[in-house]
Amino acid sequence: MKLCSWLLFASLSLPALAQQTQNPVQRAQQRTLTVATIPQPGELLSLRQAIDLAIEKNYQIHINRSQEEIARNNFAKGNAGYLPSLLFNGNSSGGLQTFRQTFIGGTPAPREGNNIFNRSSNLGLTLNYTIYNGFARRTLYAQLEQLFKISTVNTRANVEATIANVATSYYDVVRQLQRLIAFAQALDISRERLELARSNYEVGTRSKVDFLSAQVDYNTDSAALLSQEQALRNAKIILNTLLIREPQMEFAVRDTIIARSNLEIDPLQQSLMQNNPQLAAAVLNRSFVSLNEQIASAQQLPLVTAQTGYNYQLQDNQGGFGVATGRTRALTYNIVASIPIFNGYNLKRQIQNAKVSTIIAQDQENAQRLQLQSAMSQTYQNYQNSLKLLNLEVQNNQLANQNVDIAYDRYRIGNSTFVEFRDVQRNAINAQTRLIEAEYTAKAAEIELLRLSSTISQELGL
């Protein structure tokens, strides 16, 4: 029974003893909140929820999808001239006439009429069809298909760009929140130092300079914390704007920044060449422009059109002379063939300009490909360097935190000055903020690589 009582006493006393053996810096570090525990106003917003909101509400995506719908509607055989046109014509005219007629020689006898009604009506259907136009309509139909595909890849490009922007902005909010936590921890340490300097000054073991310097450093860290709070608010405003909602709307985040370390350049480059929507749009645009040459050349060939129609005419003449009533029905047709011979070299100029436009589109495609490959290579180099820096900053942060503990103990017992301790503390803050920046930079490079390779939707699980 005594043994049990002793064990219970020991178990209750150990935490208190451990608390007493901790220096104020360690206690300040333990008090510091994390991203998962810091109180945040507003509802929790995950990255997936943010991306879904942006895709649903983004105005540019709405515009792209509307343009895609227009291009889909235009991609029709009737719009390319494959189908005939049918036209109905109808008119009816009439009037009331009053007349008096006399004839030379007195014969026949004079004639006159009052309020004589005359009417003439025509009804007709006309069918027009292009039999042959040098295969221009086939080329035009192919162009309409290219325009539809271009609008589709433009929509996909904007969706992927929106996902990348939202993801980068979301992790920026996390970054600013982590920096806020780091500055809050620095302020706690400065508060502990200020209390120690005040106590030492009051008992006469430290000069007033130490106390005043501790007060200045505490105020400096307080100002830095206020500035970081504003930076966090600004980051949230930017993200809210991307999500098309009230800029001042509050929300909470719980995600941490974890950059992948297994991305390889070869699969990314291959995916870029096969799937990047910007490159796909350049390829489709080159194909579209090259078809203009075929359309211009088609004007050198004969044009054959056919027209057929049905007409019905009604005549009602109550004037008393000429045709009194009449009904006419007629079925007509007309086939026209025209062959261009000379039009002032305009057709030749159009063909030459179409060829030059094709060369321009090819150069634009090659430039777009080279630009994307260059962006991929640069971003991948930044990604690798960021990972290396991240590993170094992890070690530096651990060492800097240990150094703060040692420096505080030295300062507390009088083996170092407040200037030395402040330098160590500043180095610790800088090491922690560099670690946060390295994490964010690596994550931003990762997101850009996924966007360039057009794998961002799959990688983020969308």
What are the pLDDT digits (tens) for 298-320? 988 999 999 999 998 887 776 65
Query: Can you read off the two tokens belonging to residue 47?
Result: 């990255």
Position 449 in a domain:
yes
| Residues 253 and 45 sit within 8 Å (Cβ to Cβ) | yes
The total number of structural domains in the chain stands at: 1
Per-residue model confidence (pLDDT) at position 93:
83
Position 5 in a domain:
no
> Residue 417 is part of which domain span?
23-85+133-300+343-459
Query: Can you read off the two tokens belonging to residue 266?
Result: 């070869």
Per-residue model confidence (pLDDT) at position 417:
67
Lowest mean pLDDT of 23-32, 83-92, 439-448, name the range: 23-32
Percent of the chain with pLDDT over 70: 87
Per-residue model confidence (pLDDT) at position 21:
45
Per-residue model confidence (pLDDT) at position 5:
35
Over residues 389-400, the pLDDT tens digits come to: 998 888 887 887
Q: What is the pTM of this model?
A: 0.82
Position 321 in a domain:
no
| Residues 217 and 422 sit within 8 Å (Cβ to Cβ) | yes
Position 236 in a domain:
yes
Position 234 in a domain:
yes
Q: Residues 218, 220, 224, CA angle at the centre, nearest 5°? A: 115
Q: In whole angstroms, how far apart are CA 175 and each of 137, 169, 247, 334, 444? A: 57, 10, 19, 76, 11
- Helix, strand, or coil (residue 306): strand
Sort strands 43-44 and 85-101 into parallel, antiparallel or unpaired. unpaired
Position 422 in a domain:
yes
Position 374 in a domain:
yes
| Residues 192 and 217 sit within 8 Å (Cβ to Cβ) | no
Over residues 149-199, the pLDDT tens digits come to: 999 999 999 999 999 999 999 999 999 999 998 888 888 878 877 887 788
| Residues 440 and 382 sit within 8 Å (Cβ to Cβ) | no
Across the range 186-214, mean pLDDT stands at 80
Walk across the sheet containing 303-317 and list its strands.
85-101, 111-132, 303-317, 325-338
Query: Can you read off the two tokens belonging to residue 129?
Result: 């069809």
Position 330 in a domain:
no
For residue 138, count other CB atoms closer than 10 A to its CB: 16
Whichever domain contains 167, its CATH number is: 1.20.1600.10
